[in-house]
Structure 1
Amino acid sequence: MFLFSSDVLYSKEDYASIYYVTSSTFGNVGSFDPEKPTIMILHPMFLDTSWLECQFGDPRLYRNYNLIAFDMRTVGRSTCQPSGKHDSWVDAADLALCHQKLHLPPCHIFALEALAVNCAIRFAILFPEMCASLALCNVPSPLEQRWTYNTLEELVHSWCYSEDLESLEHAATELLTFLLGPDQLVAHWEKVIPPRRRPWVIETLSVLINRIPLEPELYAQITQPTLILHGERNEICPRKYSEALSAQLTGVENGAVIYTVRGAAMYLSIIPGSASIANQTFTKFLQRVPVVKSEIVPPQTSIQDRMKEALERQSALVGDKDIASLDPLCPLSFSCLTEEAARKQSELIAQYSRDRLSAFDPLGPDGRPPRKISQGKSEHWFQSGKDGLSVAVTNFLPAGKQEPERAPRNNDRETQIVKPSAHSPAVEKYIIKGPMAKVVRETSAAAAPLGRMLM
């Protein structure tokens, strides 16, 4: 059983309540074993700490290490005020503030997938004394690939504006085909990120697709021992990006270690087989790095002074003098987005916030999904008509409550929701020829099926 606690980060411009879970007996940092090193686990994108069973349930980890994991500010049990300034530097500042408030020792960072990797790298750059080592799973590209940008944007929009259970499950099926995933994953999304939570969903996506790539000089600032884990069949984050990152980590003694997990694709941390291999590789890596004990003592420098120092360091590294004068206790001060990018993200969040409370609710009266997604697949909503064309002929309404025929209207197009675009400057500027469905189908074909999850 996981015992959750929270850390509140409050400033004049921002509010966030960050939830965390530990492997200790009483669910808090105070009961950590001081003789064991501490591992901080960063969960995958669109998931949260409840999907770290393969890590918290692995005796190779919980018997030999203190484990702690945080829900990022826009997911899970964490809550925050939506902001267009949110980027991975802000996530790193969140971790640093929580680290100091909880009096944590230097931690081995286990970052799972793209957002976690981006956050971990920035955390190691700005707060090196808090980071004992890095383990990065599935390193993303510095610039978002155009085909993944378009596909994710379309799928997330379809999910956020679904109007019934069939539309929601259809969007989920397409997203799972793109990523992978089981019934349990769809049920989790229906409970924690239903359409009424769409402002936070689009903010999370914006952090990924609007990221600003780091300059080579910043990667050279990382000196901690680094392990890079790569899913062999991950077409979204190919191995070439892991190799490129390894080449840029010139400050790491003896270089970064790259390990390929055979047969794994995305979300290798939640597939029991792949997760076990990743955990084994990670523990063997930790056996070769210096041991750091977990003494829970207050930091010698005040939180405000340490965050101020980090702001000044970031200001010098990114070449923006204005950053150093901002509020050091506000995580949003660490944002490196331009004013134009932050404004567009704010507009996007505002658009997704409209009428969110009246959005479709996929949960039943008991607060649980009414069915598994596999139970709604007895018949496809596209059927072959008499003329051989595929048409939507299935009626999902109960008998006797058939939907009345609606006369066509000339202004239907004007009443539709216009899908906003994030206009990310970080997206690769090239064109994939051929229909998007074909590209997604070919890319997703390599994804391994997800096994039964441990609940």
Structure 2
Amino acid sequence: MPFVDIATADDYASLWYSTNTPYSNVGSFTPDKQTIVMLHPFAMDEAWCFPQLEDPRLGENYNIVTINTRLTGRSVCKFTGKYDLWVAAADIAHMFYHLRLPRSHIFASEVFVLVALRLAILFPELCLSLTLCNVPPQQERKDVIHGLDDILQLWCYAEDLESFEHANRDLLEFTTGKRLGKTGGSSPSSFDAKRRTLVNTLEPYEKHLASPQVDRLVDIDLEDELVAWWQVRYPPFRRACFVDMIRTFCHDHREPLMPELLSKIDTPTMILQAKDNELYPVSFAEDLQQSLIGVEDGAKLQIIHGRVGYLTIVRASIVNQFMSKFLASLRPHGPMDLRCPIKSLNARMQEALGALAALKENPAISKRSPASPISFSCCDEETAQIHVDMVKAYAKGQASAFSPLGSDGRPKRKFSERIVHWLQEEDLDGQDDIRRAKSSTEPPSVWVEPPPTDESEEVPDQPPPTGIIVRRTTEYTTTAAIIDRTKTQTQKLSVQKQLSRLLR
């Protein structure tokens, strides 16, 4: 099986990987091709690198290895509160040595950009180039952390399918940037009663969907696939794994890389950033570009129009085009060298520990065991214990938690088939109106006007639309507000009462 096992006295990890070869192993690599090591998108696994593996510009011209971290995909590990982004980089270095991988191009997106940067700092001899997509901040913003906490609470303690799907939708909007503003408009504003506009809209769905205000960032089938994967991998009865992953990569163990550390990177680098994404604004990419002063000719920055979050999935063709051109522009290197490294694994890891100790000004780091990746942890004891206590608290009672899966282990229904109450959701892409019209007896937010007919035809009287037709124009200011709809039922009823008063 394609696992790399790392076992020491204080640590154990079995890391899953895959390749673009017929048997998914590195033994089938073509020696004449260069190698790309890919890190999967946030909250996904290596299977979601398929847009790159199936693209002939990359899949046919390079040997590709896709890697799962300890906390994602089919990897398994001993639970510890000390796992952080430095340990994730050390895990990748161990995989290089165990798989005899040559110096490779590194491809990473979202939070794993920070892992790739740490790999380039400690193990520059392993990196031919860096391709970084949607660069995040060095430390997550407070509004994003608060929003993720709300998602975790609703996700982990959902008691029915509707509540769980609501949490799925919040994470979907968080990761894809689907509702972070309107196309071509100004920045989102807060939900203010003075700004709310009540419009009696009788336009047909076709006109609504063709409106320039509508930006369908993610195909509805892709939404179904993303949510189905989350429901199978992170259902409420496995919530401890979900909390461990989210809090490790976004909360507890994410310390910033100072400019003096980033200046040590001399690997050729290209940054791809979505233009209008509020979770990953262009300013983060520009700050990183300015900090990489050690890169010859500077790091290249390419801005991709749109505000998508999963850039490597939703805009895969554009990303692959930029990446293939960037790799082709680099100086050619010789064929793969599959010989054993001159230095032993322990000797090289001891050097890396010494370098990390110097960077952190902590001599104790260099005295740790070089055989264990967990020795690279820069997490203090207090933070590690807080993380352990948090995960254990979520793990209580998870065996009896709600299951969104059927007897066959699959989701009970597609995400697009869910029933949405017309007053509980805000819709900017028109899809929910179609779902509500098909599945709910409640009046939709946009009434479908019958098509025009000749006067000579006998047409039965059309019943008037029930209720008052309201076009909701709810807007938000921050990313946290986007995912702040994980409210209690009492808060939802309060919003409905406020709308009722305005409609009188």
Give the TM-score, by structure 1 length: 0.81
- Decide whether the 8 Å contact of 2:278 with 2:479 is kept in 1: no
Distance (whole Å) between structure 1 residues aligned to residue 476 and residue 130 of structure 2 = 36
Distance (whole Å) between structure 1 residues aligned to residue 480 and residue 268 of structure 2 = 37
- Aligned counterpart in structure 1 of residue 295 of structure 2, from 229, 233, 252: 252
- Aligned counterpart in structure 2 of residue 278 of structure 1, from 319, 330, 335: 319
Distance (whole Å) between structure 1 residues aligned to residue 257 and residue 416 of structure 2 = 42
Distance (whole Å) between structure 1 residues aligned to residue 292 and residue 83 of structure 2 = 26
Distance (whole Å) between structure 1 residues aligned to residue 152 and residue 481 of structure 2 = 20
* Aligned residue number for residue 160 of structure 2: 164
* Aligned residue number for residue 449 of structure 1: none
- Aligned counterpart in structure 1 of residue 415 of structure 2, from 373, 391, 394: 373
Highest CA radius of gyration, 1 or 2? 2
* Aligned residue number for residue 354 of structure 2: 312
**1:189-216 superposed Cα distances (whole Å, 9 cap, x missing partner):** 0111112222222222222223110122
Distance (whole Å) between structure 2 residues aligned to residue 441 and residue 13 of structure 1 = 38
- Aligned counterpart in structure 1 of residue 47 of structure 2, from 47, 50, 54: 50
How far off is 1:294 after superposition? Answer: 2.2
Distance (whole Å) between structure 2 residues aligned to residue 192 and residue 380 of structure 1 = 30
- Decide whether the 8 Å contact of 1:202 with 1:349 is kept in 2: yes
Partner SS for 2:6:
strand
* Aligned residue number for residue 350 of structure 1: 392
- Decide whether the 8 Å contact of 1:38 with 1:67 is kept in 2: yes
Counterpart of 1:270 in structure 2: which amino acid? I
**In the alignment, structure 1 residue 227 sits paired with structure 2 residue 270:** yes
Distance (whole Å) between structure 1 residues aligned to residue 57 and residue 83 of structure 2 = 35
* Aligned residue number for residue 75 of structure 1: 72
* Aligned residue number for residue 96 of structure 2: 99
Counterpart of 1:123 in structure 2: which amino acid? L
- Aligned counterpart in structure 1 of residue 30 of structure 2, from 33, 36, 44: 33
Distance (whole Å) between structure 1 residues aligned to residue 357 and residue 481 of structure 2 = 43
Distance (whole Å) between structure 1 residues aligned to residue 88 and residue 29 of structure 2 = 24
**In the alignment, structure 1 residue 129 sits paired with structure 2 residue 125:** yes
Partner SS for 2:37:
strand
* Aligned residue number for residue 431 of structure 1: none
How far off is 1:439 after superposition? Answer: 3.1
- Aligned counterpart in structure 2 of residue 204 of structure 1, from 229, 239, 245: 245
Distance (whole Å) between structure 1 residues aligned to residue 75 and residue 349 of structure 2 = 22
- Decide whether the 8 Å contact of 2:143 with 2:480 is kept in 1: no
**1:33-83 superposed Cα distances (whole Å, 9 cap, x missing partner):** 111110001001110011111111100001110000111111111111222
- Decide whether the 8 Å contact of 1:235 with 1:265 is kept in 2: no
- Decide whether the 8 Å contact of 1:40 with 1:110 is kept in 2: yes
Indicate how the Cα distance of structure 1 residues 438 and 251 shifts in structure 2: closer, same or farther if over 3 A, else same.
Answer: closer
**1:403-425 superposed Cα distances (whole Å, 9 cap, x missing partner):** xxxxxxxxxxxxxxxxxxxxxxx
Unaligned runs of 5+ in 2: 177-217, 426-473, 484-504
* Aligned residue number for residue 109 of structure 1: 106
How far off is 1:96 after superposition? Answer: 0.5
User: Percent of pairs identical after alignment?
Assistant: 41
Distance (whole Å) between structure 2 residues aligned to residue 150 and residue 326 of structure 1 = 35
- Further displaced range: 217-226 or 4-13: 4-13
Counterpart of 2:66 in structure 1: which amino acid? A
* Aligned residue number for residue 303 of structure 1: 345
How far off is 1:379 after superposition? Answer: 4.5
Distance (whole Å) between structure 2 residues aligned to residue 350 and residue 442 of structure 1 = 28
Indicate how the Cα distance of structure 1 residues 369 and 380 shifts in structure 2: closer, same or farther if over 3 A, else same.
Answer: farther
**In the alignment, structure 1 residue 173 sits paired with structure 2 residue 169:** yes
- Decide whether the 8 Å contact of 2:276 with 2:282 is kept in 1: no
Distance (whole Å) between structure 2 residues aligned to residue 436 and residue 194 of structure 1 = 30
How far off is 1:436 after superposition? Answer: 11
- Decide whether the 8 Å contact of 1:134 with 1:226 is kept in 2: yes
**1:363-404 superposed Cα distances (whole Å, 9 cap, x missing partner):** 111111110012122546959xxxxxxxxxxxxxxxxxxxxx
* Aligned residue number for residue 439 of structure 2: none
* Aligned residue number for residue 183 of structure 2: none
* Aligned residue number for residue 200 of structure 2: none
Distance (whole Å) between structure 2 residues aligned to residue 164 and residue 156 of structure 1 = 15
**1:232-291 superposed Cα distances (whole Å, 9 cap, x missing partner):** 1211111111111111111101100000111242101111xx111111101111111123
Matched pairs, number: 387
Unaligned runs of 5+ in 1: 384-434, 445-455
**1:329-371 superposed Cα distances (whole Å, 9 cap, x missing partner):** 2121111112221111111111122222222222111111110
* Aligned residue number for residue 237 of structure 1: 280
Indicate how the Cα distance of structure 1 residues 358 and 23 shifts in structure 2: closer, same or farther if over 3 A, else same.
Answer: same
Distance (whole Å) between structure 1 residues aligned to residue 22 and residue 274 of structure 2 = 33
Q: 1:79-90 alignment to 2 at 5 Å?
A: 79-90=76-87
